[in-house]
Amino acid sequence: MALPRFSYLVPKNLKEACLMLAEHKDKSRILAGGTDLLIKMKNRIVQPEYIIGISNIPDTDYIRVDREQLVIGANARLSAVAEHPRIQRYFPALAYAASVTATVQIRNMGTVVGNICNASPAADTATPLLVYDARVVIMHPEGERNLPLDEFFKGPGLTVLKSGEIVKELILPLTAGRSSSNYQKLSARGKVDIAAIGVSVCLLADENEIVTQARIAIGAVAPVPKRIGRVEKYLEGKGLTQASVKQAAQISMEESAPITDIRATALYRKKMVEVLTMRALSSSMEQIRTK
């Protein structure tokens, strides 16, 4: 099916892209990798009159890691994030999630920021970013605003972005001390398919292997990817034992609210939330014990 007709606009920078978005409002869409937008256009799900191409804007594909934080620019590709040595070292759950998103071709075109802005509950990079306490830097014609990623999603396909706004970058603080993280995914066709369930864990523990900070997020089993506060509170102050891991997984399952669709039934999804949470916590526990 051919694409619907549209006008293609080429801004010189992100601020100019914001001005174009503000001018054309709901008639316009941003195009970076295009791996989601072009499919929606072919299927007539969206039919924008204006496409604002930002993929060739200079200096927007950066990945910076210093002693305090990781910064991922608007045009940083999924493959670049997956292969970055310092992301693999300090943010392994994110690197792994990016490496198992869709296919090689899509990873070489799609961006991490685009994966988030698409606002799919099943976005592979969403739950790792949530457990790493990612923040979203949003640019608009008058300046910028900054908010936690867990305030960014509003529903399937919906974000807090207003007319004239574009995500400039994602910022993730580096975790100090004995930390570990893990991403677990279940999909019908292995790594190439959209996730039926995704679970991410990030733990910080002291020298006695007592959890001092826990971050757990689930995806594809609620209207938005979300952190599980009940599990985090339960784990903090406890040792990582088989009993505590099992109880945490039980709580995760209780907090999920999946639906039945072509990928899996709600009942199956709910049970697998428990299984994947146990796997992610067990893997993180082993990482901490070897440090």
Residue 2 lies in a domain: no
Residue 197 lies in a domain: yes
> What is the CATH number for 101?
3.30.465.10
Give residue-wise pLDDT tens across range 136-148. Answer: 999 999 999 999 9
In a shared domain, residues 142 and 219: no
Predicted local distance difference test score (pLDDT) of residue 193: 64
In a shared domain, residues 169 and 198: no
Query: pLDDT band at 191, cuts 50/70/90?
Result: low
Residue 88 lies in a domain: yes
Residue 1 lies in a domain: no
In a shared domain, residues 188 and 272: yes
DSSP letters for 73-99: ETT-BHHHHHH-HHHHHH-HHHHHHHH
Residue 133 lies in a domain: yes
In a shared domain, residues 168 and 71: yes
Residue 58 lies in a domain: no
Predicted local distance difference test score (pLDDT) of residue 285: 87
Predicted local distance difference test score (pLDDT) of residue 190: 54
Please report, for residues 25, 96, 188, the alpha-carbon distance to residue 195 in angstroms, rounded to integers and kept in the order given: 31, 14, 8
Predicted local distance difference test score (pLDDT) of residue 177: 76
Rounded Cα–Cα distance for residues 60 and 169 (Å):
9
In a shared domain, residues 195 and 115: no
In a shared domain, residues 133 and 79: yes
Domain end, chosen from 173, 208, 229, is at 173
Report the 3 state secondary structure along 3-69.
CCCCEEECCCCHHHHHHHHHHHHHHEEEECCCCCHHHHHHCCCCCCCEEEECCCCCCCCCEEECCCE
Q: Both tokens of residue 109?
A: 């075109």
Give residue-wise pLDDT tens across range 240-288. Answer: 889 999 999 999 999 999 989 888 899 999 999 999 999 999 999 888 8
Domain end, chosen from 139, 173, 207, is at 173
Residue 212 lies in a domain: yes
> What is the CATH number for 274?
3.30.390.50
In a shared domain, residues 159 and 187: no
In a shared domain, residues 190 and 132: no
Query: pLDDT band at 8, cuts 50/70/90?
Result: very high
How would you class 86 by CB atoms within 10 Å of its CB: exposed for 0-12, middle for 13-18, buried for 19 or more? middle
**In sequence order, what are the beta bridge partners of 32?**
none
Instruction: Name 211's Cβ contacts closer than 8 Å, sequence gap at least 6.
Output: 203, 204, 205, 235, 236, 237, 238, 239, 240
In a shared domain, residues 149 and 201: no
Query: pLDDT band at 124, cuts 50/70/90?
Result: very high
Nearest to 212 by CA among 243, 241, 233, 227: 233
In a shared domain, residues 224 and 258: yes
Q: Does 111 score more than 70 pLDDT?
A: yes
Dihedral pair phi/psi, residue 142, rounded to 5°: -95, -5
Range of the domain at 154: 63-173
Rounded Cα–Cα distance for residues 215 and 235 (Å):
9
Which pTM was predicted?
Answer: 0.95
Q: What is the count of structural domains for the chain?
A: 3
Give residue-wise pLDDT tens across range 21-61. Answer: 999 999 999 999 988 898 899 899 999 999 999 999 999 99
Predicted local distance difference test score (pLDDT) of residue 189: 58
In a shared domain, residues 251 and 273: yes
In a shared domain, residues 188 and 258: yes
User: To the nearest whole number, what is the mean pLDDT of the chain?
Assistant: 94
